[in-house]
Structure 1
Amino acid sequence: MGRDARRALGLVCIMMFAPLSGCFGEEGDGGLIGENDVTVTPETLIGGIFQGLTISADRDLSAFVPYLMMNPDTGFVQNSTVVDLKAGQSVLLTVLAPPRTDTAVVLLGDYGRENWPIRELNESWKTWWERGGYEGKSSQGIKRIVGDNGTLDTVQVSGSNGGAVTPVLLSIMRPEAPGFSEAEGSRHSTGMVDGRTVFNYINVMSDETPDPTDLADGAVGYLDRWAGQGNAAYEDAAQYLIQTMENFGLEVITQRFVYDSLMTGSQNPEAYNICGYRWGEVDRDKWMVFGAHFDIAPPINGGMLDPHIFGRTYGTRVGAYDNTAGTSMVLTVAEAMADHSTRNTMVFCLWSGEEGGKRGSDFWTDYWVKEDNPNVEVTNYVNLDMAGVNWPGGGGAPCGDGHGGGEGNCDPEPQVDPDGYPKDEEVWPMRVYIGPSLDHDVMNQPGMVGLAMWIGSDAIGVEEQMSPLLGEGYDAETWKVDDWMAKDRPEIIVYEDTTARSDHATFQDNLGTVTMGFGGLVDGYWCYHQTCDTVDEMIDWMDTTGKDYGEEHSGTSNLVDALDTITWWATYSFFHLDENPIRNAYLDE
């Protein structure tokens, strides 16, 4: 059924339910608030950017706008508002239209209304409307909170939803950048952040084109980023990242540290942690941190041999997936957020020494924060590590064109690992992992899990692919795969992890910070920590053309889509967590 047909059906339903609800209808008559009592412009929003949204009232009414928006008095981004309008009045709001869905709603009610229904955590506003959520019979609720000093009202969760409302539907369209074809990722190439920009950063850093004038790595890109080696290539990459962040307008602060070997007692220079700061305008000492490690797996065990031919060893020159992709997402979000005023300080960090044991983030949390900045509270941390080779890719490992190691001339297929991350030959879930959590069968950080679900189901547009995992009734070693299978192998999973294999572990352990992280296929990816961890390999794994899985798109198109999904999810998380940080539930006990 097309959008216009659904909208027409919805209007019929509204008219049918009006006599029962006594609260809304298509026409404004008597005490009813109807769609014709208000004009909302534009009718089509541009997805992924802040833009003006005007609401003009022909009679006294209130309107609930459930989206991120810019507060004109403070310059900060807030989640939702309720406005009261007398007949003949209008209001202009600066709203961020969701980037990855096609429908937005504005809800109408009686003038001065306090409580309003909202959607469930796992559904979009479009699904909420289609199931009749505007009737207010089963929806959750919010209550308006009067804004300080005349600023926009805000909202908070309430036990009452106030009953039925009148929904006004708006369409959302995200344009495509003219310089790219669909196969090159044009579907996700515009907006405040976008997957194509992330992909461009990955290409810049992973460019293997020979450059004989570059004495560091002999290439155009920034290869050989092996921490702990004291090598010129790592230093060269660090300088590139420092300059890039400074160009965004961030204040860059670095820490150079030394690693003492527990086995030999020798000292080894670990190069840089590189962090860009956008200082908070309300509380400078509350830090939200967004990070990824930029070191890559060094060659050991006779490494630097192609596993497609010689079998697996260890080490890579490029590290496109692990972790140039994460580094590039941090750069993309930092560039976009640098121009936004925030209540708390935003810190964008690129860690050193993760491959050697999370040593860079461990140093930063234990010494830079706890010793050098003891007044600082790190409110939340978002981690990017090995994200991008996941849904919407899948359907089987790539074959031909230099691939091998599995059957025929194919890469080995990902296999079910009962005590590992969920995956099989067909489905490679995008993972949204949250912690700290000590129990596999109890949801210990419901606030962060709920935020991840709320963002994913509407703004990110993945309500059909997304499901939370919980280990209740399952063995502690196998619960993730058990619950994933029981829920019919969802393509995006949100879960609390009792183990941590990346830099988020140090924030949980050293600071007690609640973290959210994003990742994809790990142990099932044949080029994990191998010489073939290149951009071309990522593209080949993400290609679904000719596969009986998902939608047919090129590898580049799907990869850009995946990068776009994660980057937007992280950006929305930052805005929400700036307004309402989520503290560690264990610390409240």
Structure 2
Amino acid sequence: MAGLARTALLALLMICAPLSGCVGNDDDVTMPAADDLNVMPEVWSAGEWTRVTFSAEAPLSVFVPHFLRSVNGGYVQNGTVLDLQIGDEVELEVLPSARLSNATLMLAPIGTSVFPVREAGESWGSWIARGGPGAGAANTPIAATPNNEGGALSLMRTANGSSAGEVVIAQVPLLRNVNSVFAEDQGQAQTEGWVNGRDVYDWLAMITDETPDPTDPYDGAVGYLDRWVGNAVPAYEDAIAFFSGVLEGYGLRTEVQRFQANTGWAVNICGYKDGTLAPDEWLVFGAHFDIAPPLVMTPGPDIPGYGTRVGAYDNSAGTSMILETAESLSKIETRRTMVFCLWSSEEEGLWGSRAWAQDTAELDVTVTNYVNLDMMGINWPGDWVLSCYIGPEVTPGEVIDQAEMYGLAEWIGAGELGLESQIERGWAAWLEDGESAMWTDSYVETVAIYESPTARSDHDSFQEHLDTITMGWNGVVDGYPCYHRECDKLSTMEEYMVTEGRTGEQNLVESFDVVAWWSTMTFLALDEQPILNAL
């Protein structure tokens, strides 16, 4: 079995960090060989918690740069270093990328604590191909530090002022499971995993199902339509009961918060998972569940055909993403309190999230980060930009005010999701065209990470009232002709996502998969190390 495990370690090479003087130059230090490390299973399940056994046939240290946790539970952390003597055997639960073909490991002489890392905006594959830290600018390395959270595994922190030595790179093959019930053109490639795009799609299909149901006294349909703010709108109340029941079913402490908004009652639905290390620090994940009502109920310009019964893209898609990610994240122990909210009255002027933010500002808690999901789905891999927007910002153009959050978005997008080339193209598009064009025009193979000067969704409430740094995702906005119209349906979203050789459903499932993983990994990283507003 050990021999089989060693054959699974691919693309092995020696690289030496610049300016360091390699650790291996000391005659008393022996560099491990690739076949000194045994890893089982020999192929890891991509996008799923996988129990992995590490053992050694010679003394060595192995850096595991992936989300992981102890097999006995505990907090999820982004990497660790294992020191293995001959015959040692250590088990971990590892969450490998759902979208890459290999997982990277680093080997070094036993006792090594400082390791090189890739640039934020590049993949491990690109980093290895260019010679790792031996090519180009020297990256700030990362170091194993004692665990101060009660766990047994070392934590990885930036090692300013240190330099990394010689390492052996090993890559373990990844294989993502699929559900054979679905065909390739239905998004089969993204049907399994801790989170996955197919589940988001299925939530969206259920919520927006217009099939007549004569037994439903609320909206007369199988789905949850007519989610308009108002005084006891029956379909609105029906949806509130359903969504709150789903969050309660996940084991979340769920609150339905009602408040007066102009002449009507507005409602937020929030599920809380209390942290066990820093419970007064909150990470909030939100999307508005209301949809644009008919014109007669809406302040604003006289837009023919304004309003929708369905609101698939705006914002049943974001609502579906909350339900998918909350289910997975609710099952793990977290340091900080996680809050999953469905806001009401966004279409009327962010009434729901503003009321929640104003009330929360009076509590003795700190909302460290907010993640927003509004109008995502019609974007890459369709011929539209997938935008990852960060704020607040004060300096327009190339200057990045929120550099740490920007770096995290790049680290996950390029390194964990394999979007390196799309992100490079997105940065060029942002500099040349700006946000407005990316919200209206068609772009091919483009994913843009940028600081947004625009706040037309619920993240504005957090920036204004809680001074919280925010991140969110969206696709085409003003260029979507069914924006706030009756034609905003799942079938229309699929039509806009058709590309050569791929169906709209297939692309939509992959789009949801990317955002589900990007947002989930962002939450895991921020639970370990929150990023505060730099302004």
Q: TM-score, normalised by structure 1?
A: 0.82
Gaps spanning 5+ residues in structure 1: where? 1-6, 261-266, 304-310, 395-427, 546-551
Question: Matches of residues 93-492 of structure 1 in structure 2 within 5 Å?
Answer: 93-133=92-132, 135=134, 138-140=137-139, 141-148=141-148, 151-159=152-160, 160-228=162-230, 230-260=232-262, 267-270=263-266, 272-300=267-295, 312-367=304-359, 369-371=360-362, 374-394=363-383, 428-441=384-397, 442-467=399-424, 469=427, 479-480=434-435, 491-492=446-447
Change in 2 beyond 3 A, CA 1:347/1:60: same
Q: 1:130: how far off?
A: 2.1
Confirm or deny: 8 A CA contact 1:51 1:96 kept in the other structure: yes
Identify the residue that residue 539 of structure 1 maps to in structure 2. 494
Question: Matches of residues 551-566 of structure 1 in structure 2 within 5 Å?
Answer: 552-566=501-515
Asked if 1:572 is matched to 2:521, the reply is yes
Between stretches 515-524 and 90-99, larger displacement belongs to 90-99
Confirm or deny: 8 A CA contact 1:105 1:168 kept in the other structure: yes
Change in 2 beyond 3 A, CA 1:576/1:22: closer
Between stretches 428-437 and 154-163, larger displacement belongs to 154-163
Identify the residue that residue 92 of structure 1 maps to in structure 2. 91
Whole-Å Cα distance in 1 between the matches of residues 10 and 93 of structure 2? 30
Q: Which amino acid aligns with 1:521?
A: V
Change in 2 beyond 3 A, CA 1:256/1:301: closer
Confirm or deny: 8 A CA contact 1:118 1:161 kept in the other structure: no
Q: Which runs of 4+ in 1 moved over 6 A?
A: 21-25, 470-474, 481-484
Whole-Å Cα distance in 1 between the matches of residues 230 and 248 of structure 2? 25
Confirm or deny: 8 A CA contact 1:185 1:557 kept in the other structure: yes
Q: 1:73: how far off?
A: 6.1
Q: Which amino acid aligns with 1:295?
A: D
Whole-Å Cα distance in 1 between the matches of residues 477 and 15 of structure 2? 52
Whole-Å Cα distance in 2 between the matches of residues 390 and 349 of structure 1? 24
Whole-Å Cα distance in 1 between the matches of residues 457 and 188 of structure 2? 32
Change in 2 beyond 3 A, CA 1:119/1:434: same
SS in 1 for 2:100: coil
Change in 2 beyond 3 A, CA 1:57/1:503: same
Q: Which amino acid aligns with 2:394?
A: L
Identify the residue that residue 5 of structure 2 maps to in structure 1. none
Confirm or deny: 8 A CA contact 1:281 1:341 kept in the other structure: yes
Identify the residue that residue 47 of structure 2 maps to in structure 1. 48
- Picking from 504, 512, 516, the partner of 2:467 is 512
Task: Using the aligned pairs only, state the percent identity.
Answer: 43
Whole-Å Cα distance in 2 between the matches of residues 346 and 221 of structure 1? 28
SS in 2 for 1:274: strand
Whole-Å Cα distance in 2 between the matches of residues 259 and 8 of structure 1? 59
Q: 1:458: how far off?
A: 2.0
> Deviations for 1:65-105, whole angstroms, at most 9, x for unmatched residues?
00000135661100100111112212111110111111111
Q: Which amino acid aligns with 1:534?
A: K
Whole-Å Cα distance in 2 between the matches of residues 337 and 432 of structure 1? 21
SS in 2 for 1:458: helix
Whole-Å Cα distance in 1 between the matches of residues 428 and 381 of structure 2? 23
Confirm or deny: 8 A CA contact 1:120 1:139 kept in the other structure: no
Whole-Å Cα distance in 2 between the matches of residues 190 and 445 of structure 1? 34
> Deviations for 1:322-373, whole angstroms, at most 9, x for unmatched residues?
0000000000001111111000111100000000000000000102x123xx
Aligned length: 513
SS in 1 for 2:74: coil
Whole-Å Cα distance in 1 between the matches of residues 235 and 468 of structure 2? 33
Between stretches 378-387 and 147-156, larger displacement belongs to 147-156
Identify the residue that residue 425 of structure 1 maps to in structure 2. none
Whole-Å Cα distance in 1 between the matches of residues 510 and 62 of structure 2? 34
Q: TM-score, normalised by structure 2?
A: 0.90
> Deviations for 1:156-200, whole angstroms, at most 9, x for unmatched residues?
112434122101111111111121111111110101110000011
Whole-Å Cα distance in 2 between the matches of residues 94 and 202 of structure 1? 31
Q: 1:138: how far off?
A: 4.4
Q: 1:43: how far off?
A: 2.2
Identify the residue that residue 3 of structure 2 maps to in structure 1. none
Identify the residue that residue 4 of structure 2 maps to in structure 1. none
Change in 2 beyond 3 A, CA 1:469/1:59: same
Q: 1:48: how far off?
A: 0.7
Q: CA RMSD in A?
A: 2.8
Change in 2 beyond 3 A, CA 1:515/1:470: farther
Identify the residue that residue 406 of structure 1 maps to in structure 2. none
> Deviations for 1:533-573, whole angstroms, at most 9, x for unmatched residues?
0011111111113xxxxxx2111110000001001101001
Confirm or deny: 8 A CA contact 1:227 1:234 kept in the other structure: yes
Change in 2 beyond 3 A, CA 1:321/1:472: closer
